[in-house]
Copies of this chain bind each other. A is one copy, B any other.
Amino acid sequence: MPYVIGVDLGGTNFAVGAVSTDGAQQRTFTSELTRRERGADDIVGRIATRVADVIARTIAETGASEADFLGVGIGAPGPLRRIDGVVVLAPNLGWRDYPLRDRVAAAVGLPCTLENDANCATVAEWWIGAAKGAKNVVGVTIGTGIGGGLIIDGALYHGSSDVAGEIGHTTIETAGRRCKCGNYGCLEAYASGPAIAERARESLDANGASSLSALAGGDPMALTAQHVFDAARNGDALAIEVVRDTARYLGAGIANLLNIFNPEVVVLAGGVTGAGAQLLAPLQAEVRRRAFRPAVDVVRIVPGTLGDRAGVVGAAAAFLAETGKGA
């Protein structure tokens, strides 16, 4: 059985794994801290070491041979160009115009492809996860940022310069909160993990009494979205309000996608979806309130089933699609 190595490169960690070309086997996943401060070449070197390690372990575990490894699919953040494999801008890595694909290819000695990380997560859920078999899919990854991917008529859609799917950077308030992208009122500025924590902090500043202060150890700057979800689950009024607002913002953004794309499935992934039903149920209700009925009637809005593996699996799937070898 042939394999593809998937690499999921994030600002905090990178993960590497082997995925069989039918998607059925996903094995020997490893991950380590990205340590962006060490610079791009150092990161590439450690990615190559991990790739070699995963290949060796997969061979040991399955009896596969070196020749069974077709190549490496890389998922990376930010606007990028597939044609020359360059990461155009990745603030979380401190990169600008970095030729990641060719650097990794040179280091591992295998063909490589480069794909946007949120696209990878979407492709993975469509290939073997929650959106399997659907024709039109929107993936929304909600974590440190909010990314997105679009499967249209059964294929990943890239747009005219590989920017398509930047759902986190759609305006939901024209004069709204400042976003890291430079714009105002982006969905990401309201509903990413850090944005949820920030809104909770502001609410604490204004209102004071909440179990959130204690959860964050008395340091508002230590407050995370996870604290907010935990407190809301325990009945904290301020946290419940912050979660409800988060659902409202995400619901508005996703309703926009329903009215524009009319997909069969919206797959939610990323750390924030760990909040579970307390976020998902009001989010779905908000979408029903806002989107057109014929669009609501045909869509499922569901959490992804691949969890942390989505990035690696999708990077491998993107390699297969890009090189015409399947997926």
Contact = CB atoms under 8 A, between A and B. Distances in A.
A195 to B, nearest CB: 14
A97 to B, nearest CB: 12
Contacts of A294: 79, 81, 88, 161-163
A173 interface: yes
Copies in the complex: 2
Contact of A289 (B169, B183, B264, B289): B183
A2 to B, nearest CB: 28
A182 to B, nearest CB: 8
Interface stretch (A8-16, A51-59, A204-212, A254-262): A254-262
Interface in A237-294: 248-249, 252-253, 255-264, 289-290, 292-294
A135 interface: yes
A18 interface: no
A259 B292 contact: no
Contact of A292 (B163, B171, B172, B261): B163
Given A161-B295, A292-B79, A172 B169 contact: no
Contact of A165 (B81, B135, B157, B260): B260
A88 B161 CA distance: 36
Interface in A51-95: 79, 81, 88
- Classify chain A: how many residues form its interface, as a range: 35 or more
A262 B172 contact: no
B172 A263 contact: no
B259 A166 contact: yes
Interface in A156-203: 157-167, 169-174, 181, 183, 185
B164 A260 contact: yes
A82 to B, nearest CB: 12
B79 A160 contact: no
A167 B260 CA distance: 6
A262 B163 contact: yes
Given A157-B153, A160-B136, A299-B160, A170 B262 contact: no
A105 interface: no
Interface of A: 79, 81, 88, 135-136, 148, 150, 152-153, 157-167, 169-174, 181, 183, 185, 248-249, 252-253, 255-264, 289-290, 292-295, 297-299
Nearest first, the 5 A-B pairs at minimum CB distance are A159-B262, A170-B256, A166-B259, A163-B262, A164-B262
Given A161-B294, A167-B259, A183-B290, 5 more contacts: A160-B299, A170-B255, A170-B259, A173-B174, A174-B249
12 contacts: A135-B160, A150-B260, A159-B261, A163-B295, A166-B295, A167-B259, A170-B255, A170-B260, A171-B253, A172-B174, A174-B248, A181-B292
